């Protein structure tokens, strides 16, 4: 009789362990499913558009010899419009049109209007995203009646909070490298060549579609 009871107890314990294991496994699967629903996912063709606005910070110039000098510019304002399309879950490519202004000591206004092709890689830690980007293109500089088109490189890093699947809000820090190269020995000779180094810090509103 005792042997029969022991066998029944062992059988009940074994069934209890199997049922508990199944319940825990189902609970883990549910948690994983919940986590999956919180992870933003992008695929080929998904698009986004964002608007940036903030402060332009003049850093320094250096010439061909490497001598560093001040820009003699005040803090300015900057803004840009950017469109990008996702090539994969983490990589996006698009174009950005920007603009800035700052004042010289005698109140002359410097304007720059960069147009770049922009590639980004997106790191995700839901509900946050961190894009690392590089923009390459042309930059129109204007001071009074003088104008010059130069190459520009704009590496940047951003930090975004996803409000929902469509809208996100964040901030960006962008470095502007503008080599202004002159050639010849005329009114503006090669000795006037300068390499501009600037920065902007902007707030951003992003819309996905």
In angstroms, what CA-CA distances link 58 with 28, 70, 78, 168?
53, 9, 12, 28
Give the model's pLDDT for residue 105. Answer: 87
Q: Which two tokens stand for residue 186?
A: 């005329």
Note the pTM of the prediction, 2 decimals.
Answer: 0.76
pLDDT at 117 (0 to 100) = 98
CATH of 47-208, one of 3.30.70.1140, 1.20.210.10, 3.40.50.720, 2.40.160.20: 2.40.160.20
pLDDT in tens, 186-202: 555 566 788 899 999 99
Strand partners, 147: 142
Domain boundary assignment for the chain: 1-37, 47-208
- 3-class DSSP assignment, residue 17: helix
Torsion angle (degrees, nearest 10) of CA 162, 168, 171, 176:
120
Residues 152, 177 contacting (CB under 8 angstroms): yes
Give the residues of the chain that fall short of pLDDT 70.
1-40, 184-191
Q: What is the pLDDT of residues 158-185, one digit of tens each?
A: 999 999 989 999 999 999 999 988 776 5
Q: What is the pLDDT of residue 204?
A: 97
């Amino acid at each position: 009789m005792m042997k029969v009871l022991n066998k029944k107890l062992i059988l009940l314990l074994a069934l209890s362990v199997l049922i508990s294991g199944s319940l825990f496994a189902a609970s883990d699967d549910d948690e994983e499913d919940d986590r999956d629903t919180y992870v933003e996912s992008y695929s080929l063709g998904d698009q986004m558009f964002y608007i940036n606005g903030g402060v332009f910070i003049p850093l320094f110039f250096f010439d061909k010899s490497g001598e560093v000098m001040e820009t003699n510019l005040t803090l300015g304002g900057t803004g840009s419009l950017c469109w990008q399309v996702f090539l994969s879950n983490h990589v996006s490519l698009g174009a950005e049109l920007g603009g800035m202004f700052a004042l010289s000591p005698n109140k002359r206004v410097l304007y720059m209007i960069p147009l770049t092709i922009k590639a980004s890689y997106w790191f995700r830690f839901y509900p946050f995203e961190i894009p690392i980007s590089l923009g390459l293109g042309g930059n129109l500089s204007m001071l009074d009646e003088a104008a010059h088109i130069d190459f520009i490189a704009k590496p940047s890093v951003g930090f975004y909070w996803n409000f929902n699947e469509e809208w996100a809000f964040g901030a960006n820090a962008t470095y502007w490298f503008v080599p202004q190269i002159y050639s010849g020995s005329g009114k503006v000779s090669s000795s006037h060549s300068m390499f501009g180094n600037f920065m902007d810090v902007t707030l951003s509103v992003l819309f996905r579609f």
